[in-house]
Amino acid sequence: MFGITTELSIYYSIICILLGVVYAYFLYRKNNFESKTLTSVLFVFRALVVSVLSFLLLNPLTNILETTEEKPIVILAQDASVSCQESEDFIKFTKLQQSLSENFDVFVYNYSDELREGFVSEKKGVSTNISKLMDEVDLKFSGRNLLGVVLSSDGLYNDGSNPLYHKISKSIPFYTIPLGDTSVIKDVRISDVLHNEISFLGNTSPIEVQIQTEKCRGENITVKLYHQSKLIASKKVKVKTDNEYIKVPFVIENNFVGLQKYRVEVGSVSQENNTANNSYKLFVEVLDSRYKILFLSDVSHPDISAIKSVLEKNKNYELEIESTSDFTKNIENYNLIVLFHLNSRKTNVIEKIKESDVSLLMISNSINTSLISQIYNGFSVRGKSKSQEITTEMNTTFSKFSISPSLRNYIQNLPPLHSPFGTYNYPASAEVLLYQKIGMYTTEKPFVLLDQSQNRKIGLILGEGLWKWKINDRKEGEFHKNFEELISKITQYLLINEDKSRFRIFHDKKILEGKSIVFKAEYYNENYELTNTKEVSQKVFNEKGEEFRFVYSKNQNTYFLDLGNLAVGTYTFKSAYAENLDVKEGSFTVVPKQLEGNIIRANHQILYQLSKESNAVMFPEFNIENIINQFNESPLNKTVLHTSKKTTSVINKSWILILLLSLLSGEWFARKFNGFY
């Protein structure tokens, strides 16, 4: 269907026609050709040219309705993982594609750990991710004339989510072709190993080896645990039933920093054909993140015990309690110093604390406020060294960390404490967590103050009697929960140090085999503004000492580097900004995938469920004729007509230009031939 419209009223086109006729009349009214017919033809030519040119000034638009046919779409998906390598379905899939292409639009894929187009004759995928295929179908074919998906699989997947729970698992027909053998043979395999991926130096970590046995009643199996190829533990287990699920626990000690490699092995039994699934590799990253916390106090006080009882529950904290008179160690060896009732006569310790950038938590009473003001510049309490009884009120605008509703309620009903009396001054950079409250009146005086000035963090608790808060925290049988949250969050804030270096590298320390290894880098100028004017290079070294050189790409104001895929192993790297102006070093490890081929028994039940719940069928075998008949008889086998309206400007039509040039050329030739110019 074709139509023409204009931006202005269609009545203006009549004026365009009149304009062409009038123009042609004045041009030819005195031209006396021998043939009146020729005069009439030239008159019409000129009238048409002028009328069309005038009409084009109205910017006419053409409307064309186009109708296209969309044939039903069929998707063919081949399982290309190693667990299906015995199934030679490449030729059958190719023939099925050719047969279906006559009446359907066919799209072909193969899937394993990655999704690719086309079919493959050699299946090398180390894992199966069926949900990735379903994501592709949902993204590209949702809302189109999709007849169904033909999916070959053994029903095994060890990557991605369960396909039965995918959002399109019931809305799109999935016709499944079962592969592999479901028969039970004698086998012992490690189905999974549960472990903590991250642990801390000096701690112990549990490992649970999950073993599945088939037809192994009465067999004795040995489970061995290796660390860096060294046997560290071994246990023997007797199989009591034909098909048994066994859990074997181990405990490992984390005595070395870094990514630690462990291997679990299960001894084979008699007449076991497949032993590839009898071993399992796992990795535990051990962090040396213990924070050293020093308590400096010249008196014994229950507040110290209350705070200490909270911190010592955290295995990542190492606590020491010293008095200033006996303290001779290096201040810089600690991550946090808690000061309580210091002796001002020990001036050398006070000076070292003042000059250091170690984080401080200072607990004040009415006597030592002047000593605290010496350490904390900008803080002072002007008064007569007296104390007053106060309660506290939470600062609703506090932003340095979150506070639970339980703790907020807890703060409202606490026994009073004693705080220094006087006028308070503190730096503008500080933020108040708790205000002092006298009776019903909430003052502007801080009770808990947190600050980050220059290179150190400072916390200040302006009062004593915290032990009362602890013993008062026992609501609903949960003892000290809110008090522990308060002290823990204050301590955690003071311990966490921000990275203030100008050259920073971001990367994953553990990368799964086959995944791209990506690095990001940032460089800050003296004003701490992101810049990437200089080049960043990187050297990567494998375990053999071989060196690989790379150069970062620039992305806006940052840097980006993709190393691609590397072999399994531990690597070190050295990143350099502007030819070693600033250098960062580190390491990462590529860990292996657990091969899907370790599972030798197919799971056709999941295929049957997928087909049944999506109103499709599971074919008992790969029969091309049955599959084609199923699609031909499907109620979804319909051709869809799509109608679209296309609007374009007439000025863009080339035939308009050709028509006008033809008319003008014909007129010019006729006039010249007959002696008129």
Domains of the chain: 2-66+646-673 (no CATH), 72-182+602-632 (3.40.50.410), 187-287 (2.60.40.10), 291-495 (3.40.50.880), 503-591 (2.60.40.1930)
Instruction: Write down the pLDDT at residue 385.
Output: 74
Given a contact cutoff of 8 angstroms between Cβ atoms, the answer to whether 90 and 123 are in contact is: no
Neighbours of 128 (CB within 10 A): 27
Please name the amino acid found at residue 427: P
Nearest to 283 by CA among 252, 310, 262, 265: 262
Tokens of 181: 């053998």
Neighbours of 554 (CB within 10 A): 15
Given a contact cutoff of 8 angstroms between Cβ atoms, the answer to whether 80 and 120 are in contact is: yes
Between the CA atoms of 318, 321, 325 and 327, what dihedral angle is there, to the nearest 10 degrees? -10
Using alpha carbons, list the distances in angstroms from residue 458 to 5, 162, 257.
75, 50, 30
Given a contact cutoff of 8 angstroms between Cβ atoms, the answer to whether 180 and 149 are in contact is: no
d(CA 91, CA 593): 29
Task: With a cut of 70, list the residues of the chain below it in pLDDT.
Answer: 1-3, 6-8, 10, 31-34, 181-185, 271-274, 276, 289, 343-347, 366, 454, 475-478, 498-500, 593-601, 675-677
Neighbours of 603 (CB within 10 A): 16
Q: Please classify residue 413 by burial: count the beta carbons closer than 10 Å to its beta carbon, then call 0-12 exposed, 13-18 middle and 19+ buried.
A: exposed
Residue with tokens 């009362």: 468
Q: Report the sign of the C-alpha dihedral through residues 426, 428, 434, 436, in that order.
A: positive
Instruction: Write down the pLDDT at residue 201.
Output: 78
Tokens of 163: 């396909």
Residue with tokens 């679990």: 264
Tokens of 613: 């719940």
Q: Which DSSP symbol is given to 576? A: E
Residue with tokens 């203030």: 500
For 360, phi and psi rounded to 5 degrees? Answer: -125, 140
d(CA 56, CA 37): 29
Using alpha carbons, list the distances in angstroms from residue 547 to 374, 574, 644.
53, 11, 59
| Percent of the chain scoring above 70 in pLDDT | 93
- pTM assigned to the model: 0.50
Instruction: Write down the pLDDT at residue 3.
Output: 64
For 51, phi and psi rounded to 5 degrees? Answer: -65, -40
Sort strands 510-512 and 582-591 into parallel, antiparallel or unpaired.
Answer: parallel
Using alpha carbons, list the distances in angstroms from residue 369 to 356, 416, 449.
20, 20, 14
Instruction: Write down the pLDDT at residue 53.
Output: 83
The distance of Cα 93 from the centroid of its chain, to the nearest Å, equals: 36
Instruction: Write down the pLDDT at residue 536.
Output: 94
d(CA 397, CA 117): 55
Between the CA atoms of 90, 92, 93 and 98, what dihedral angle is there, to the nearest 10 degrees? 130
- Helix runs in 546-642, H state only: 605-613, 624-632
Sort strands 431-438 and 456-462 into parallel, antiparallel or unpaired.
Answer: unpaired
